[in-house]
């Protein structure tokens, strides 16, 4: 009985947190280490309906990557807030209409969460840990409203499985398999959006991707160049990339590193997009996205924590 009580006392503490916002509060969960807190972080989710734990139930994805990362960091003295982004999970009521959403909204939210994490953990600043599209959110967050008065609450950036090339380049790669003339039509839509112009009647077969209501958001996203954003940031940057990632490649990590040569780059052999051990075979790789019991790959948490806790 005493052993059980001691274990409960020593366990990391998980508490819900709420961030004031319009039209409704944003929600997340704070995981605090059992002992002294040496650093604080915000874990920023990837694209689509990805929740605070790194799951997308609508697509059967339940890798729990962010929960596992938070738990591993807590064991190493790092407190973290993992968030339901605007419009997702408990933050659903804070989501604007699709037509009103802009990428800068996520960036502004990330900065606000950094200040909240620092305050909750009693630290002077918090790290932004961005995964997948969340890496671009983190980069945009430090560029969107750089603090000139020395009161910035962002310690630095940890970019995991993040794109290093502009979204238009990646989109064209993904659309390259389309048959002609559909591919040419898709490329033409991308070109218009890159120029900041909406397309009234996208091809019917591409309506789900280029529907008019989502085009303003796509325009705000397509203007961003991750490597240029990395180059403009003078704080510490960690780039982590899996070698068997079937969504983002080592070329993206290298592009980020080329943009910011001071960054620390680690490429993990045999590690995929959700930071788990996985082969290059697509079916076996995707199977890891559905397994919350599968731990994060060895070395991932250790590398991230070591970088954040490094004396500076």
CATH superfamily placement of domain 11-165+225-309: Alpha/Beta hydrolase fold, catalytic domain (3.40.50.1820)
Tell me the pLDDT of the chain averaged across its residues.
93
Q: What is the mean pLDDT of residues 85-100?
A: 94
Question: Looking at residue 9, what is its pLDDT?
Answer: 47
For 170, residues 6+ apart whose C-beta sits below 8 A from its C-beta are: 163
Which of 73, 51, 70 has the alpha carbon at shortest distance from 62?
51
Q: For 5-9, 162-166, 236-240, which range has the lowest pLDDT when averaged over its residues?
A: 5-9
**pLDDT at residue 8 is higher than 70:** no
Write down the pLDDT at residue 145: 58
Residue 247 pLDDT greater than 60, yes or no? yes
Looking at the predicted structure, is the pLDDT value of residue 82 above 60?
A: yes
Mean pLDDT of 175-196: 95
The proportion of the chain whose per-residue pLDDT surpasses 90, expressed as a percent, equals: 87
Q: How far apart are CA 172 and CA 286, in angstroms?
A: 22
Q: Where are the alpha helices (DSSP H) in the chain?
A: 2-10, 65-74, 103-121, 133-144, 167-175, 182-194, 207-210, 215-222, 226-232, 250-259, 282-287, 300-309
Pick the more confident residue, 19 or 48: 19
- CA distances 64 to 36, 207, 241, 288, Å, are 25, 31, 18, 10
Give φ, ψ of 269 to 5 degrees.
Answer: -65, 140
Percent of the chain with pLDDT over 70: 94
pLDDT higher than threshold 70 for residue 181: yes
The CA distance from 217 to 282, in Å, is: 30
The dihedral sign for the CA sequence 227, 231, 234, 237 = positive
Rounded to an integer, the average pLDDT of 240-254 is 96
- Cβ count near 173 (within 10 Å): 11
Residue range 285-300: mean pLDDT, rounded: 97
Contact criterion met (CB below 8 Å) for 192 and 199: yes
Q: 39 pLDDT exceeds 90?
A: yes
Query: At residue 146, does pLDDT exceed 60?
Result: no
Report the pLDDT value the prediction gives residue 10, as an integer from 0 to 100.
62
The pLDDT of residue 173:
87
pLDDT of residue 149: 43
CB 275, CB 69: distance < 8 Å: yes
Q: Rounded mean pLDDT of 161-178?
A: 92
Contact call for residues 265 and 258 (beta carbons, < 8 A): no
Ranges of each domain in the chain: 11-165+225-309, 167-223
Tell me how far CA of residue 275 lies from CA of 43, 70, 170, 178, in angstroms. 14, 13, 20, 29
Residue 228: what pLDDT? 97
State yes or no: pLDDT of 167 exceeds 70: yes
**Segment 206-245, tens digit of pLDDT:** 988 999 999 999 999 999 999 999 999 999 999 999 999 9
């Amino acid at each position: 009985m005493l052993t059980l009580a001691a274990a409960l006392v020593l366990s990391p503490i998980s508490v819900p947190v709420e961030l004031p916002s319009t039209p409704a509060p944003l929600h997340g969960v704070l995981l605090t280490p059992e002992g002294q807190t040496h650093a604080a972080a915000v874990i920023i989710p990837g694209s689509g309906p990805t929740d605070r734990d790194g799951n997308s139930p609508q697509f059967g994805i339940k890798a729990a990557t962010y929960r596992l990362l938070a738990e591993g960091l807590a064991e190493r003295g790092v407190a973290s807030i993992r968030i339901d982004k605007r419009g997702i999970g408990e933050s659903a009521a804070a989501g604007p209409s699709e037509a009103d959403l802009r990428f800068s909204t996520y960036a502004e939210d990330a900065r606000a969460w950094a200040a909240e994490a620092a305050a909750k953990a009693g630290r002077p600043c918090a790290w932004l840990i961005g995964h997948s599209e969340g890496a671009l959110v983190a980069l945009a967050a430090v560029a969107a409203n750089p603090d000139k008065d020395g009161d910035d609450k962002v310690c630095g950036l940890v970019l995991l499985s993040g794109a290093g090339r502009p979204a238009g380049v990646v989109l064209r790669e993904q659309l390259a398999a389309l048959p002609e003339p559909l591919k040419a039509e898709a490329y033409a839509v991308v070109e218009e959006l890159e120029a900041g112009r909406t397309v009234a009647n996208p091809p019917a077969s591409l309506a789900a991707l280029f529907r008019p209501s989502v085009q303003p958001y796509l325009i705000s996203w397509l203007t961003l160049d991750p490597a240029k954003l990395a180059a403009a940031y003078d704080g510490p940057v960690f780039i982590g990339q899996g070698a068997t990632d079937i969504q983002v490649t080592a070329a993206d990590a290298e592009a980020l590193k080329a943009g910011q040569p001071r960054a620390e780059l680690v490429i993990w052999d045999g590690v995929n997009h959700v930071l788990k051990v996985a082969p290059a075979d697509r079916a076996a790789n995707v199977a890891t996205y559905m397994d919350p019991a599968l731990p994060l790959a060895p070395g991932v948490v250790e590398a991230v924590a070591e970088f954040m806790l490094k004396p500076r």
